[in-house]
Amino acid sequence: MINVGIIGGSGYTGGELIRILLNHPQVTIDFVFSTTRAGKTITLAHPDLLGQTQLEFTGEVNPDVDVVFLCLGHGNSTSFLNGTQFSKATKIIDLSNDFRLHADAGFNEKQFIYGLPELHKEAIKKADTIANPGCFATAIQLGLLPLAKGNGLNDQVHINAVTGSTGAGVKTSATTHFSWRNNNASWYKPFTHQHLSEIGESLASFGNEVGELFFLPNRGNFTRGILATAYTKYKGSVEQAKELYEDFYSAAAFTHISDEPIHLKQVVNTNQCHIHLHKHDEVLLVTSAIDNLLKGASGQAVQNMNLMFDFDEKEGLQLKAGVY
Q: What are the φ and ψ backbone dihedral angles of 249, each rounded to 5 degrees?
A: -105, 20
Give, as one character, the DSSP assignment of residue 58: B
Please, which residues bridge with residue 286 across strands? Answer: 230, 277
Q: Give the active site residue among 81, 135, 137, 307.
A: 135
Rounded to 5°, the CA angle 23-319-166 comes to: 95
Give the number of other CB atoms < 10 A from CB of residue 263: 16
Give, as one character, the DSSP assignment of residue 290: E
Clarify whether 273 is annotated catalytic: no
Of 52, 42, 50, nearest in space to 15 by CA: 42
Query: What's the rounded Cα separation, in Å, for the pair 152 and 285?
Result: 12
Whether 166 contacts 290, CB under 8 Å? no
Query: What's the rounded Cα separation, in Å, for the pair 303 and 111?
Result: 19
Of 126, 73, 124, 128, nearest in space to 95 by CA: 73
Whether 268 contacts 322, CB under 8 Å? yes
Please, which residues bridge with residue 276 across strands? Answer: 258, 287
Instruction: Give the CA distances from residue 114 to residues 61, 125, 305, in Å, rounded to whole numbers and listed in that order.
Output: 25, 12, 13
Whether 36 contacts 19, CB under 8 Å? no
Q: What are the φ and ψ backbone dihedral angles of 229, each rounded to 5 degrees?
A: -120, 135
Residues forming the active site: 135
